[in-house]
Amino acid sequence: MTQTQTTPPAAGPDFRSDNVGAAAPEIIAALARANADTATGYGGDTWSQALQTRFSEIFEAKVSVFAVATGTAANALSMAAITPSWGAAFCHERAHILTSEVNAAGFFSGGGLIVTVPGPHGKVDPAALDATIAAQGKGMMHRSQPASVNLVQATDLGAVYTVDEVRAVTEVAKRHGLKVHMDGARFANAVAHLGCSPADLTSRAGVDILSFGMTKNGGLLCDAIVVFDEAVARTIAWQIRRAGHVWSKGRFAAAQLLAYVEDDLWLRNARRSNALARRFDTGLRAIPGAGLWAPIEANEIFLRTDPRTMDALERAGIRFVRRSADMARFVCRFDGTEAEIDALLAALATGASHG
């Protein structure tokens, strides 16, 4: 899908993405603390070891954690770990691995095929997934073989899978013998919205591997791969190394991730950005003719509107992303403010009335 970032005449409230915001001060401070003395490289430091223990506590089971530089790396390497070169990976037709990562998943898997599945609000529909996997031709010599399923949490339209919805998808995947990856670029926002435990939304629901996002929620230069399946964990380290995503000074990557989850910083930040999105949702109801492409459940807003209204928002200095002729995306940040939300609502009300 073509998208264009707006360039308003004067800088105003910035809703282009949550990655335009600042890094959380706690993470900057953690890096400064780690920047002392010497430490073993390539993950042999005490921070990297502590990371394994802390994340196992968070997910209530032994997990393997690998820090990587970007969310694309986390997604592509996770998918490659569960999708052979002759395999087929199933994802929603709006999934980030399909629309925004130049088929990195296919590249790192050595040629894995991506097959799309429909569903409401960016969620994979279990019945459609079942039919699509069945139609792929398991056991047929001339067809890519079903291997994996990708879920995006929160979805690429801002909706959140409930625990039962995740289980419904993973049950289909497991019945066909497929592994499941969760793209959790905004996993914190989903957990904060549901109020459930991270384990209930992942390993206990049948997820084998998770891209654990940090950058969009107050992080600096790091995301992570969390592996729940021990068989996958035994081999993925070599794939990560071959791809150039093993940190030489691993302590600085681990220090960021440890600070992110310390004292529930990740959830506090997510609750903050979610609350700003809910503020917009409440205000939007008073604006005649305004609509949404999907319910606001995390920190993303997909507004159904027309080009003239988008033009009016640009003139008001609002920065956002035009996703199509009738879709505008706004993303709330942990460091955003209520005043920014109110300015957006005011500009939208003015633009809608003049439209």
Task: Give DSSP secondary structure letters for 206-263.
Answer: T--EEEE--GGGT-SS-EEEEE--HHHHHHHHHHHHHTT-S-TTHHHHHHHHHHHHGG
- Position 3 confidence tier, pLDDT thresholds 50, 70, 90: low
Which domains does the chain possess? 4-22+266-354 (3.90.1150.10), 25-265 (3.40.640.10)
pTM, whole model, 2 decimals?
0.95
Sheet holding 291-292, edge to edge: 4-5, 321-324, 327-331, 300-304, 291-292
pLDDT band at 93 (very low <50, low <70, confident <90, very high): very high
Position 8 scores a pLDDT of 44
The secondary structure element, H or E, covering residue 67 is strand 64-68
What is the signed CA dihedral for 287, 281, 291, 319, rounded to 10 degrees?
Answer: 90
Block residue for tokens 């291997």? 147
What tens digit of pLDDT does each residue of 323-355 get? Answer: 999 999 999 999 999 999 999 999 999 876 655
* Rounded average pLDDT over 27-55: 96
What are the tens digits of pLDDT across the range 193-227?
Answer: 999 999 999 999 999 999 999 999 999 999 999 99
Instruction: Identify residue 57 by its one-letter amino acid code.
Output: E
Cβ pair 176, 148 in contact under 8 A:
no
Closest to 64 measured CA to CA, from 248, 222, 193, 240:
240
Separation CA 221–CA 67 (nearest Å): 10
Strand partners, 291: 304
> Which pLDDT belongs to residue 213?
98
Rounded-to-integer distance, Cα 156 and Cα 92, Å: 9
